[in-house]
């Protein structure tokens, strides 16, 4: 039973971290504009930067059922385009698990999408400090920092964050 619950929680975290079309449409309306005036989908940019890293192993700890319910509610709210309700559910989850790096990062991404750049960068950095500092979560941390700095108009800081993101991948050892 606990193995099934653990698998279900992992699925919720993976699915909850993926943005739906409705979320992208809402974020595009609220997102900062690019130099040519087109709105940016910052949630999609963070998640695209984190995808495809070639990580072989991701460790996801078991989550308390109450927290799992809140994460599921946040995922549903985000998929429905209600970023405020998603943020509220994540805040409640953080009240129960204040140092969870995955929840901190998800919350940072919603702050970034809402234009709260300083707080988004702070939470992403906190998530990185508490997290594995490798793999997909690490890439999401530094992509959030990079985008916050880009939107803020700090190209040098954004470039440093991009360099940090590149360090999130450790190549597999060569076996002969």
> Tell me: the pLDDT tens digits for 143-165?
999 999 999 999 999 999 999 99
For residues 155-172, b (16+ Cβ closer than 10 Å) or e, as one string? eebbeebbebbeebeeee
Is 174 within the bounds of a domain? no
Is 123 within the bounds of a domain? yes
- pLDDT for the residue 1: 47
- pLDDT for the residue 112: 97
Is 173 within the bounds of a domain? no
Q: Is residue 108 within 8 Å of 125, Cβ to Cβ?
A: no
Is 41 within the bounds of a domain? yes
CA 68 to chain CA mean position, Å: 16
Domain span including residue 115: 2-166
Is 172 within the bounds of a domain? no
Is 85 within the bounds of a domain? yes
Is 72 within the bounds of a domain? yes
Phi, psi of 39 (to 5 degrees): -70, 150
CA nearest to 138, candidates 161, 112, 172, 122 = 161
- pLDDT for the residue 176: 78
CA nearest to 125, candidates 112, 110, 111, 138 = 138
What CATH number should be reported for the domain holding residue 81? 1.25.40.10
Domains in the chain: how many in total? 1
Average pLDDT, the chain: 81
- pLDDT for the residue 169: 83
CA 59 to chain CA mean position, Å: 16
CA nearest to 117, candidates 125, 9, 175 = 125
Is 71 within the bounds of a domain? yes
CA nearest to 115, candidates 159, 145, 158, 151 = 151
């Amino acid at each position: 039973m606990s193995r099934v619950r653990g698998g279900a929680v992992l699925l919720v975290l993976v699915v909850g971290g993926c943005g739906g079309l409705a979320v992208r449409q809402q974020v595009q309306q609220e997102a900062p504009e690019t130099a040519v005036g087109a709105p940016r989908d910052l949630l999609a940019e963070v998640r695209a930067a984190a995808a495809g890293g070639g990580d072989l192993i991701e460790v996801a700890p078991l989550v308390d059922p109450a927290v799992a319910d809140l994460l599921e509610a946040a995922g549903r709210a985000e998929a429905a385009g209600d970023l405020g309700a998603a943020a509220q559910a994540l805040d409640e989850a953080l009240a129960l698990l204040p140092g969870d790096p995955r929840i901190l990062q998800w919350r940072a991404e919603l702050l970034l999408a809402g234009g709260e750049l300083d707080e988004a960068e702070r939470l992403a950095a906190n998530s990185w400090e508490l997290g594995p500092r490798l793999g997909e979560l690490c890439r999401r941390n530094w992509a959030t920092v990079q985008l916050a700095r880009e939107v803020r108009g700090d190209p040098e800081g954004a470039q440093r964050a991009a360099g940090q993101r590149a360090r999130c991948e450790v190549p597999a050892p060569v076996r002969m």
